[in-house]
C-alpha cells in the first residue's frame, strides 16, 4: 500500500520557474463570482489557501507572512485604535491586529464574501475566531468605492491583495490615485502596509513600482521583505506612513513595544526579526532605486 | 514556432516539496568518480551547476550565495592572509576570497577534480579566472585526510560541501571530530564558515545540529541565513571562530571594512546586508536552541 | 480570472515515464483498510477512479476498457448464465455483463467494501445502477478463500484486479494455483478473461508471464490488447478457456452474436473491434513467446 | 550517490493532459530557421527526436511508427519504383522504403536541412545509412512549391509532417488543394499515406478532418491507427489511393507480399499487424463519419 505522492500543486512563480507541493487532499473548492478558490491539505505545510492558482497562506507558515504583514506597521503608530484591512480574506490579518488591546475597531473590506465565508468555515487555524471578535466589521464590496464613500478615518491600513494578472477593477487598487485616497482616510500619524509582490531576483519590477507609486504620497516609505517557505520565494512589503519610520526604531525598542502592546506570544516577529526584515541586501536597494515606475489609473500595471 | 518550456529540472527539496526550472539547454554532463554533475542553462537563472540532482549555484544569483558565504567570516579576521576552502568546486568562493589584497595564499581542497575542471571550462562566469590567480593552490583529495596530514595553518576556513545523503566518507566532514581537527589548523584569531543546509520551516534539523556540533569546539558560533532565489528556499550558514563575533560588528563598521579591505564592487553584501543575514527570526532562534544534536563520527547525520 | 491548470495527477507508469492529467476537483478520497482510493474530476476524461495512485477507469473512456474486458469472453460461451467477477469495484464490469439477458446470476467478489460503496455513491456514470440489478450478488472477501469454499460453478469469470506491487495476499491471485482453482469452478465450456498489465514496449514481462501462467491450465489462451487513452499506454488482456477460441470467430459472426445476445448499444466493441483486439503486432507475439515465466505461489511476481 | 530522475521532458498532448519522460542527457539541440529541434536520451526509449517540444520518434519504438507509416501503402502498389517522402527528416521513412528492391528512386522533400543533417549525424540508429543509398535524393525546399514545379511522377507518396500549430505555410500542406496537387503527381495506381494526428478519444477532430479532406480526391480512403508507446497515445494514419484498398487485402496475402517484396526482417508489421491497424474500433469509425470538415486553402485547420 506504499505510494509516492501522485497529486501535485504546481505554482508557476514565473512562466519558467515553479514551486510544487504534494497534495494530501482537497478540503474545499469553489469558483466564486470573482475568482477560483481552493483549500488543499499539503504534505509539507498542512492546509493552504489557493486563489486563482496562487498560494496565499499555509497553516504551517502563515505566522511568518501575517506577523510580517501586520506588526511592523502597528509598531510605528503610538496607539492604533482603528485599523482597516483591504483584502485579507483568511482572517489571519485580523487575528494579528486583534492582539492589540488598543484596537477598538477593525474594518475588513474584502470584495469576495464567498472566500471569506469558506475560510471562516474551513480554515479556523488561520483566523482563530477573529471574525467573532466584537471589534471586527466585515464589508464585502469594492474597497475603492467603499473608501471614497466612507467618512471613517483609520490609524493603520493593511492592504493584502493579490497583484492584478489582467486588466480590470483590481488594477485600480494598485495606483497612486488609490493610495492618495487611502492616505486621506488615515489619521494624522497614520500608516499603511501592503504586500508588494516577490522580491526574487529578476522579478522586482512590481515591487519597485509600488515603491515609486507610494513615494509621492507618503513621507515615509520603508520597504521590507521576508522569505515565505511555502511560496518558494522571498516576498516584499512596504510600510508607507505619515509618522515614524520603522527603520529608525531599534530592535530593543521593538522588543519593548511588543511586550507592552501585543497580547500573546509571537512566533516570528520581535526586535531581531524587525532588523532582519528592514535590512535589505544591496542589490535589492539598488533595484528599488533603478527599476519600476509610478503606477496610475491611466497607466496601470499588470503582472506578467 | 512558439512553444512553452517542455524540459524541466525538478529539485525535490523534500519528498513532498519541490522547485523547478525550465531548462533551455544542457551545457555539460558527467558522471565523475564521486557524483553526477551537470551544467544546465535555465531560463530564469542562466547556467546552473547541479550535483547529484541538487542545484549548487546559478550564474544569476551566485553573488548572493557566495558573497554570503565568504565575506562575513572574512570580516571578523583582522587581516586574513591564508584561507582554506573545503569543497567549493565552482571557484566562486575563491573568487570572493581573492578580492582581499591581504590574502597571500588560498588553498582549495575539493576531492572531485572532474567537477573542478568542468567548472573551470564551462562556468567562467562563476570563477572569473580565480583558478589562474598565483595565490591559489588546488588539491584533489579527501579534505579530512589532507587536514590531518598538513602542518599549514589558516586564518580563515570556508566549508562549502553538500550535505551527506547516504552513509560514507562525506559524513565524516560534518562531525565534531572533523571540526576539532579543522579548529586546530586555524591561527589564533582564526574563524571558519560553512553552508549548513536549508532554513526552511520544518527542515531545520540539520542546521540546528550543525550549530550543536560546532558549539563545543568554538567560542563564537554565529548562525545566519539568506534566501537563495534559485534554490526556492532560504539557506543557512554558520560562522564559528576564535575571535570576533560577527553579530557584534555594527553595519557601519562592516561598510568601512568592506571599503578598506575588499577590491571591486560587491552586489549583495554590505553593512545592511550583514544585519539582514545575522538578524534571525524568532522561530529560527528557537529552533536552533531546541532542535538538533551534536554530530559525531560515531553518530553521523544523514540528510533524509 | 484566467488560469492554467495548477493541480496535476502524475501517474508514473514506470520510474522513468509518466502520464499526467490536470485535476479539476477531487470528488472523494478515502484510505480504506486495503488501499488508498480517490475519485478525481480530470479536465480531459471527467471523473476517474484512482487506487494507490494508479488510474483504474475514467468516465470518458471506461467504455473502451470495460467492453474490451467483458465482451470477448462472453462471446465465446454459447449461453452464459452465471458469471463471476473478481475485483471490478466500479461496477462497470457488472454493467456490461448485465447486458446479456441470458445471465441469471452475477457474483462479484471484491475484498474492498469501502471502494465498492464509494463507487456506488460517487460514480453512477460507471455502474449505471448495476448493483441494484436483482441478478447481482456482491461479496466482500478474499477471492481465493471464497473460491476454495464455494460449490458454485460459473460459465464465465472475469478477473479485474490491480497487479501486485508488493508481497502480500494479492500476489496469490496471480498464480498458477489460483487459476487452477478458478478453472475448477468453471462449467464445461467455461472461460475467463483477465486484465494482464501494460503492453507497452519494454514493460511486457508481466503480460508474458500471465500468458505462461495460464497456458498449462487452459486449452485456449488468447491474448489481446487495446489502447486506453486515459492510461497513456496500451493494455493487455487474456481470454483463457475450455471452449471456443475467440481468434477463430470471424468479425461478421461477432457482429451477429452482439446483435442477438447483447442488449443496448455498444460503443467500442463489434466484429471489427474484435479483430483489432486479437490481431497482435509481430513484436508483441514475439515477446509473449520469448519473455516471462510461469508464476506460482512459491514464486510470485511483484510488478516493479 | 543514488538519485531519482530530476530532468523531465513534458509533452503536453493537450493543455490538460501530458506524457513525460525522464531525460538521461541531451545529445543535440538547435534552433533551425524553421523550428526548435532536440535529440535527448530518455531513460525509457533511448534517443528521441523532439521538434518544437513534440516527440517525433524514439530509437526504441520507431519501428512501430515507421513500419506502420510505410508498409501498408507500399503493399497496395503492385510494384513501387518511385517513392516521394514529404517531411520525414529522421530518414527512418526512407530506411523502410529502401527495403523494397523494386524502388529505384526515393525523393525526400524536407524543408529543414538542419534537422535532416543533425539526424544524419546524431541518429544513425534511425536512418541506418539510408541517406547514403544511391537511390535517394533529398531536397530542402517547400514541398508544395516543389510539387507544383516538378514533372516527376511517383508510385507512392508518404507525407510525414507535423500538424500545423499556427497559421503559416505549413497549413498549406494539409488542404484539399495540396492533396489534389499531390494526387496529380502520382502514377495511375499510385497511393499515398500520411500521419494524421492523435486518435485519442476527445482529440479526433484533426484525424476526421483529414479523412474528409482526402475523400473527394481519392477513390480509396483507408484510415488506420496504432498505439505509439513513447507518444503516450494512439496515432492515426490514412492511406489514400487510386488502386487497391488495403482493407481488402487478407492477412495471409500481406504475409506473402512482405516475404516476396521486402528485404530484411520487420519487427512490427505483418499480416496480423495489418489487420490490427485497419480494424478500427466502433467509436473511431463513428467519429470519422460524424466529426471534422474538409480543410481547404481558404479555410485551413490549426491544431489547438
D12 and D97 together in one domain: no
Of residues D121, D107, D209, D102, the one with CA closest to residue D163: D209
Determine contact, residues C288/C211, Cβ cutoff 8 Å.
yes
- For D28, the domain range is 8-58
The whole-angstrom distance between D169's CA and the closest CA on chain C is 29
Q: Which of A42-56, A154-168, B127-141 has the lowest mean pLDDT?
A: A154-168
Instruction: State how far the Cα of D125 lies from the Cα of D127, in Å rounded to an integer.
Output: 6
D48 and D107 together in one domain: no
pLDDT at C296 over 60: yes
pLDDT at residue A6 in the model: 87
A21 and A152 together in one domain: no
The C-alpha cell at B139 is: 588539491
Q: Is residue A301 part of a domain?
A: no
pLDDT at residue D9 in the model: 94
Distance of CA C238 to the CA centre of its chain: 10
Catalytic residue (one of A160, A245, A255, A297): A160
The CATH number that applies at residue A37 is: 2.30.140.10
Across the interface, of D3, D34, D53, the residue whose CB is closest to B53 is D3
pLDDT at residue A304 in the model: 67
pLDDT at A256 over 60: yes
Which of A17, A35, A58 is a domain's end point? Answer: A58
Across the interface, of D6, D9, D38, the residue whose CB is closest to B11 is D6
Instruction: State how far the Cα of A247 lies from the Cα of A217, in Å rounded to an integer.
Output: 19
**A6 vs C11: CB contact, 8 Å cut-off?**
yes
Q: State the average pLDDT over residues B256-268.
A: 98
Of residues D213, D222, D221, the one with CA closest to residue D291: D213
**D1 vs B29: CB contact, 8 Å cut-off?**
no
B24-33 pLDDT, tens per residue?
888 998 999 9
pLDDT at residue B225 in the model: 97
Kindly list the residues from chain A whose CB atom is less than 8 angstroms away from the CB atom of residue C166.
1-2
pLDDT, chain B, mean: 95
Across the interface, of C44, C226, C273, the residue whose CB is closest to D14 is C44
The whole-angstrom distance between A88's CA and the closest CA on chain B is 23
pLDDT at residue C2 in the model: 39
Catalytic residue (one of D132, D160, D245, D255): D160
Entry pTM: 0.89
A12 and A111 together in one domain: no
**Strand D54-58 and strand C233-241: pairing?**
unpaired
Q: How many CB pairs under 8 A join C and D?
A: 138
The whole-angstrom distance between A276's CA and the closest CA on chain B is 4
Q: State the average pLDDT over residues B214-220.
A: 97
Closest alpha carbon within chain C to A42:
C7
**D5 vs C18: CB contact, 8 Å cut-off?**
no
C47 and C86 together in one domain: no
D119 and D160 together in one domain: yes
Q: SS3 for C3?
A: coil
The whole-angstrom distance between C146's CA and the closest CA on chain A is 23
Kindly list the residues from chain A whose CB atom is less than 8 angstroms away from the CB atom of residue B266.
282
**C10 vs A9: CB contact, 8 Å cut-off?**
no
What confidence category does residue C247 fall into, taking pLDDT thresholds of 50, 70 and 90?
Answer: very high
Residue D136 pairs in a beta bridge with D106
- Burial, A289: exposed, middle or buried (Cβ in 10 Å; 0-12, 13-18, 19+)? exposed
C68-109 pLDDT, tens per residue?
999 999 999 999 999 999 999 899 999 999 999 999 999 999
The whole-angstrom distance between A95's CA and the closest CA on chain B is 19
The CATH number that applies at residue D149 is: 3.40.50.150
pLDDT, chain A, mean: 95
pLDDT at B164 over 90: no
Across the interface, of D2, D52, D166, the residue whose CB is closest to B166 is D2
pLDDT at residue A165 in the model: 75
pLDDT at A3 over 70: no
**C279 vs D266: CB contact, 8 Å cut-off?**
no
The whole-angstrom distance between C151's CA and the closest CA on chain D is 39
Kindly list the residues from chain C whose CB atom is less than 8 angstroms away from the CB atom of residue D280.
272-273, 276
Kindly list the residues from chain C whose CB atom is less than 8 angstroms away from the CB atom of residue D274.
279
The whole-angstrom distance between A275's CA and the closest CA on chain B is 6
Instruction: State how far the Cα of D144 lies from the Cα of D181, in Å rounded to an integer.
Output: 8
The whole-angstrom distance between D7's CA and the closest CA on chain C is 10
A66 and A50 together in one domain: no
Catalytic sites of C, residue numbers: 160
Q: For residue A257, which phi and psi values (nearest 5 degrees)?
A: -65, -40
pLDDT at residue D6 in the model: 87
Residue B115: which residues within 8 A CB-CB, separation 6 or more?
Answer: B30, B32, B34, B35, B37, B51, B89
Q: For residue C47, which phi and psi values (nearest 5 degrees)?
A: -65, 140
Closest alpha carbon within chain D to C280:
D273
Distance of CA B158 to the CA centre of its chain: 7
Determine contact, residues C153/C128, Cβ cutoff 8 Å.
no
Q: Is residue B106 part of a domain?
A: yes
**B60 vs A21: CB contact, 8 Å cut-off?**
no
B105-116 pLDDT, tens per residue?
999 999 999 999
pLDDT at C38 over 90: yes
Instruction: State how far the Cα of C85 lies from the Cα of C135, in Å rounded to an integer.
Output: 13
**C279 vs D43: CB contact, 8 Å cut-off?**
no
The sign of the torsion formed by the CA atoms of D230, D236, D242, D246 equals positive
Instruction: State how far the Cα of C242 lies from the Cα of B60, in Å rounded to an integer.
Output: 69
Q: How many CB pairs under 8 A join A and B?
A: 139
The sign of the torsion formed by the CA atoms of A95, A97, A98, A99 equals positive
pLDDT, chain C, mean: 95
Tell me how far apart the terminal alpha carbons of chain A are, to the nearest angstrom. 43
Instruction: State how far the Cα of C97 lies from the Cα of D198, in Å rounded to an integer.
Output: 31
pLDDT at residue B279 in the model: 98
CA-CA distances (angstroms) from residue A122 to A109, B47, C25, C125, D175? 20, 43, 17, 30, 55
Kindly list the residues from chain A whose CB atom is less than 8 angstroms away from the CB atom of residue B18.
19-20
Determine contact, residues A137/A105, Cβ cutoff 8 Å.
yes
CA-CA distances (angstroms) from residue A210 to A194, A221, C162? 9, 10, 55
pLDDT at residue B304 in the model: 67
With a pLDDT cut of 90, the percent of chain C lying above it is 90
Q: Is residue B175 part of a domain?
A: yes
Kindly list the residues from chain A whose CB atom is less than 8 angstroms away from the CB atom of residue C34.
1
**D283 vs C16: CB contact, 8 Å cut-off?**
no
Kindly list the residues from chain B whose CB atom is less than 8 angstroms away from the CB atom of residue D166.
1-2
Kindly list the residues from chain C whose CB atom is less than 8 angstroms away from the CB atom of residue A52.
1, 3
Closest alpha carbon within chain A to B9:
A17
**Strand C82-87 and strand C154-160: pairing?**
parallel
Q: Is residue C297 part of a domain?
A: no
Kindly list the residues from chain A whose CB atom is less than 8 angstroms away from the CB atom of residue B235.
none
C203-231 pLDDT, tens per residue?
999 999 999 999 999 999 999 999 999 99
Of residues C285, A167, B147, the one with CA closest to residue D276: C285
A30 and A111 together in one domain: no
Q: Which of A276-280, B168-172, C191-195, D6-10 has the lowest mean pLDDT?
A: B168-172
Q: Is residue A3 part of a domain?
A: no
> Which chains reach chain D with 3 or more Cβ–Cβ distances below 8 angstroms?
B, C
Kindly list the residues from chain D whose CB atom is less than 8 angstroms away from the CB atom of residue B166.
1-2
Q: Is residue C303 part of a domain?
A: no
Across the interface, of A7, A11, A52, the residue whose CB is closest to C23 is A7
pLDDT at C3 over 60: no
Instruction: State how far the Cα of C264 lies from the Cα of C261, in Å rounded to an integer.
Output: 10
pLDDT at A64 over 50: yes
Instruction: State how far the Cα of B238 lies from the Cα of B278, in Å rounded to an integer.
Output: 10
Q: State the average pLDDT over residues A76-97.
A: 96
The C-alpha cell at A155 is: 490609524
Per-residue pLDDT tens listing for chain D (304 residues): 335 788 999 999 999 999 999 998 889 989 999 999 999 999 999 999 999 999 999 999 999 999 999 999 999 999 999 999 999 989 999 999 999 999 999 999 999 999 999 999 999 999 999 999 999 999 999 999 999 999 999 999 999 998 887 777 778 999 999 999 999 999 999 999 999 999 999 999 999 999 999 999 999 999 999 999 999 999 999 999 999 999 999 999 999 999 999 999 999 999 999 999 999 999 999 999 999 999 999 999 887 6
A94 and A20 together in one domain: no
Query: Which residues of chain B are at the D interface, by a Cβ-Cβ cutoff of 8 Å?
Result: 1-4, 6-12, 23, 25-26, 29, 34-36, 38, 40, 50, 52-53, 165-166
The C-alpha cell at D19 is: 506524457
**C7 vs A9: CB contact, 8 Å cut-off?**
yes
The C-alpha cell at B142 is: 579527501
The sign of the torsion formed by the CA atoms of B266, B272, B278, B282 equals negative
Q: Is residue C295 part of a domain?
A: no
Across the interface, of A10, A35, A166, the residue whose CB is closest to C8 is A10
D50 and D134 together in one domain: no
Closest alpha carbon within chain A to C24:
A29
pLDDT at residue B1 in the model: 32
In chain A, how many domains are there?
Answer: 2
Instruction: State how far the Cα of D282 lies from the Cα of D201, in Å rounded to an integer.
Output: 12
Instruction: State how far the Cα of B186 lies from the Cα of B240, in Å rounded to an integer.
Output: 11
**D34 vs B1: CB contact, 8 Å cut-off?**
yes
**Strand A7-14 and strand C7-14: pairing?**
antiparallel
Q: Is residue B56 part of a domain?
A: no
A158 and A284 together in one domain: yes
What ipTM was assigned to the predicted interfaces of this complex?
Answer: 0.94
pLDDT at residue A25 in the model: 85
D183 and D118 together in one domain: yes
pLDDT at residue B163 in the model: 84
D101-130 pLDDT, tens per residue?
999 999 999 999 999 999 999 999 999 999
CA atoms within 13 A on the CB side of C69: 30
Across the interface, of B3, B10, B25, the residue whose CB is closest to D26 is B25
Across the interface, of D18, D200, D227, the residue whose CB is closest to C20 is D18
DSSP-derived secondary structure for chain A: ------EEEEEEEETTEEEEEEEEEEEEEEE-SS-EEEEEEETTTEEEEEETTEEEEETTTHHHHHHHHHHHHHHTSSS--EEEEEE-TTSHHHHHHTT-TT--EEEEE-S-HHHHHHHHHH-HHHHTTGGG-TTEEEE-S-HHHHHHH----EEEEEEE-PPPSSSSGGGGGSSHHHHHHHHHTEEEEEEEEEEEEE--TT--HHHHHHHHHHTTT-SEEEEEEEEEGGGTEEEEEEEEESS--GGGS-HHHHHHHHHHH--S--SS-SHHHHHHHH---HHHHHHHHHS-----SSS-----
pLDDT at residue B166 in the model: 75
DSSP-derived secondary structure for D221-279: EEEEEEEEGGGTEEEEEEEEESS--GGGS-HHHHHHHHHHH--S--SS-SHHHHHHHH-
Closest alpha carbon within chain C to A7:
C9
A225-236 pLDDT, tens per residue?
999 999 999 999
Instruction: State how far the Cα of B153 lies from the Cα of A289, in Å rounded to an integer.
Output: 44
Amino acid at each position: 500500500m506504499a505510494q509516492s505522492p501522485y497529486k501535485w500543486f504546481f505554482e508557476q512563480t514565473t512562466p519558467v520557474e515553479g514551486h510544487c507541493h504534494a497534495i494530501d487532499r482537497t478540503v474545499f473548492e469553489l469558483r466564486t463570482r470573482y475568482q477560483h478558490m481552493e483549500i488543499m491539505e499539503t504534505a509539507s505545510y498542512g492546509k493552504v489557501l489557493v486563489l486563482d492558482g496562487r498560494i496565499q497562506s499555509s497553516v504551517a507558515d502563515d505566522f511568518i507572512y501575517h506577523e510580517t504583514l501586520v506588526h511592523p506597521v502597528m509598531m510605528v503608530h503610538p496607539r492604533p485604535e482603528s485599523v482597516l484591512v483591504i483584502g485579507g480574506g483568511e482572517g489571519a490579518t485580523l487575528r494579528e491586529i486583534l492582539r492589540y488591546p488598543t484596537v477598538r475597531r477593525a474594518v475588513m473590506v474584502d470584495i469576495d464574501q464567498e472566500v471569506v465565508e469558506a475560510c471562516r468555515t474551513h480554515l479556523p487555524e488561520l483566523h482563530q475566531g477573529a471574525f467573532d471578535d466584537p471589534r471586527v466589521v466585515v464589508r464585502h464590496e469594492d474597497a475603492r468605492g467603499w473608501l471614497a464613500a466612507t467618512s471613517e478615518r483609520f490609524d493603520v491600513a493593511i492592504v493584502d491583495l493579490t497583484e492584478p494578472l489582467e486588466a480590470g477593477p483590481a488594477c485600480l487598487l494598485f495606483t497612486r490615485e488609490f493610495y492618495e485616497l487611502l492616505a486621506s482616510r488615515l489619521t494624522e500619524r497614520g500608516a499603511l502596509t501592503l504586500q508588494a509582490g516577490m522580491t526574487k531576483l529578476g522579478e522586482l519590477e512590481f515591487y519597485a513600482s509600488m515603491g515609486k507609486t507610494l513615494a509621492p504620497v507618503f513621507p515615509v516609505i520603508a520597504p521590507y521583505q521576508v522569505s515565505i517557505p511555502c511560496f518558494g520565494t522571498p516576498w516584499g512589503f512596504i510600510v508607507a506612513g505619515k509618522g515614524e519610520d520603522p527603520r529608525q526604531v531599534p530592535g530593543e525598542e521593538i522588543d519593548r513595544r511588543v511586550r507592552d502592546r501585543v497580547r500573546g506570544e509571537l512566533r516570528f516577529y520581535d526586535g531581531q526579526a524587525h532588523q532582519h526584515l528592514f535590512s535589505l541586501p544591496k542589490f535589492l536597494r539598488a533595484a528599488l532605486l533603478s527599476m519600476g515606475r509610478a503606477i496610475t489609473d491611466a497607466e496601470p500595471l499588470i503582472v506578467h
